Amino acid sequence: MEFLLDLLHMTIAMSTPFLFGVIGGLYTNRAGVMNFTLEGIMAFGAFGSIFFTLVTQQVWLGILLALILCLLVQYLFAILVFEFGGSPLFVGFSINLVSASVIPFFMIAVFNKKSSLGAGQFIDPALMIKDLPILRSIPVLSTIFNNHTFLTYASFFVVVVLTIILYKTKFGLHLRVTGENEDAAKSLGINVKRIRYMALTICAICCALGGINMAVENLGMYTNGMIAGRGYICLSAIMCGRNKPVRSTLFALLFGLAKAVQIRITAYVDSTTASLIGMLPYLAMLIVLVVTEYPVARKNPERIFR
């Protein structure tokens, strides 16, 4: 029981980047833009928070500048797609590739660091843990939901608020109409481009917070490849959830569980087996995609295999 509760506690912590990425990516999807930059935006958020913290020697200023950096990168995607007619697929993957090359360049050029960039003199991850008195006296819930970081708690709050906005506000209605039928949205006088820019803004902030959670709250440092495909997993969760916030969030928690299981199992096996177990989150993604997409494929009369 202790192992199970500890695993569930880690699941909540590991799900934070997925929750932020899923709700942010879902907003752009519902606005009619397939945003493939989630991976790159998370990487820029994680790197920017540590990089700017070291430059400014202020954690809050490092986080603020990281958010601005992610917004600029996301707006670059928007300009290339909306203004110049670029393909969201190719532009998105290009930004992801740029993040994988530009970030190591700045690490070497500014700090002469090749693989990792630490800010331990300014950030203590242990101090990021929040003890909530309201949960302290509840036996099981305290073990699972207490002693998490601020952004972990904020991720659930953000998901709830953005879900309410999506279904209960005028902006949410305009966003859904824009994604479902662009011509109908224009005929109703909806500024489609503005709606999509706003959706991308929300997505950039959410993905940046996911990266900041990993770099600042969990480690106090940035390492190359630390995002490790989380952006793509978020896209998979959105697809599996059929662009529905609640369903997509449940898949995000499922991938968080897979990540937690991977971390816990690697503590009991040798290094070779541990590297093999590292495939678990991605294997879970493939299994979930097959299970959720197979019934839909069976209903497709144009499928190749019957």
| pLDDT of res. 75 | 96
- Report yes or no on 66 lying in a domain: yes
Burial of 8 (0-12, 13-18, 19+ CB in 10 A): middle
- Report yes or no on 272 lying in a domain: no
pLDDT tens-digit series, residues 76-85? 999 999 999 9
| pLDDT of res. 289 | 74
- Report yes or no on 277 lying in a domain: no
pLDDT band for 275, please (50, 70, 90 cuts): low
- Report yes or no on 234 lying in a domain: no
| pLDDT of res. 303 | 55
Give yes or no for residue 304 having a pLDDT over 70.
no
pLDDT tens-digit series, residues 15-30? 999 999 999 999 999 9
- Report yes or no on 23 lying in a domain: yes
Cα 199 to Cα 17: distance, rounded to the nearest angstrom: 18
Give yes or no for residue 306 having a pLDDT over 60.
no
- Report yes or no on 253 lying in a domain: no
Cα 227 to Cα 5: distance, rounded to the nearest angstrom: 26
Taking residues 104-129, report their average pLDDT: 90
pLDDT tens-digit series, residues 192-238? 999 999 999 999 999 999 999 999 999 999 999 899 889 999 998 99
- Report yes or no on 300 lying in a domain: no
The percent of residues in the chain predicted with pLDDT above 90, rounded, is: 68
Report the 3 state secondary structure along the chain.
Answer: CHHHHHHHHHHHHHCHHHHHHHHHHHHHHHCCCCCCCHHHHHHHHHHHHHHHHHHHCCHHHHHHHHHHHHHHHHHHHHHHHHHCCCCHHHHHHHHHHHHHHHHHHHHHHHHCCCCEEECCCCCCHHHHEECCHHHHCCHHHHHHHCCEEHHHHHHHHHHHHHHHHHHHCHHHHHHHHHHHCHHHHHHCCCCHHHHHHHHHHHHHHHHHHHHHHHHHHHHCEEECCCCCCHHHHHHHHHHHCCCCHHHHHHHHHHHHHHHHHHHHHHCCCCHHHHHHHCCHHHHHHHHHHHHHHHHHHHCCCCCCCC
Q: What is the mean pLDDT of the chain?
A: 90
Q: pTM of the prediction?
A: 0.92
Write out the residue range of the structural domain in which residue 184 sits.
Answer: 2-127+141-226
pLDDT tens-digit series, residues 33-66? 989 999 999 999 999 999 999 999 999 999 999 9
| pLDDT of res. 141 | 87
Q: Packing angle between helix 2-14 and helix 16-30, nearest 10 degrees?
A: 40
- Report yes or no on 246 lying in a domain: no
Give yes or no for residue 164 having a pLDDT over 70.
yes
How many structural domains comprise the chain? 1
Residue 81 makes CB contacts below 8 A (sequence gap 6+) with: 33, 87, 88, 91
